[in-house]
Structure 1
């Protein structure tokens, strides 16, 4: 599944970025970002195995999780624990995942 592949690469890059966070942020915002990202991957994998009505509900939930991750990445950038280049890279992955997720949701309507 291409969306899972994108999220896999996103998580790999996010993990590398979190390792560079200051200690206080690594164990708070960094941990939350990693947990929410893994939850999103899990939600997408579960949704891929459900019937269309249940799948739609899971994908709506995944869309909310994605929005939260985008917000947390932006916060990390604004408080200067992620540099601008890494921020743009991570957001590009999330934008692509958002397009894929939106297309998947539209196909179910």
Structure 2
């Protein structure tokens, strides 16, 4: 599933970035970023194996997790834990994941 591959790649880039966070942020903000990404990846995988009714709820929750992830990435930039270049790369990846997730939700209908 392409969205799973994009999230996997996002986590790899994020993991490398978190390793360079200041120690004061690595084990708080960095850990929150990594945990939220893994929760999102897990819920997307669960959605691929769910029936249509369950899938819609799971994807809606995933969409909320994605919004939290975007906020945390922005917070990492604002606290100078993340440089501008890495922020732009991660944000671009999240936007692509968001488009894929939104398309999947729309395909399920109301």
**1:5-62 per-position Cα deviation (integer Å, ceiling 9, x unaligned):** 1001100000000000011100000001000100000000000111111000000000
Please list every run of 5 or more consecutive structure 2 residues that lacks an aligned counterpart in the other structure: none
Q: Which residue is equivalent to 1:73?
A: 73
TM-score, length of structure 1 as denominator length: 0.99
Q: Secondary structure at the match of 2:27?
A: helix
Q: Which residue is equivalent to 1:64?
A: 64
> What RMSD over aligned residues (CA atoms) do the two structures have, in Å?
0.4
Q: Which residue is equivalent to 1:53?
A: 53
Q: Secondary structure at the match of 1:80?
A: coil
Task: Return the offset for 1:79.
Answer: 1.2
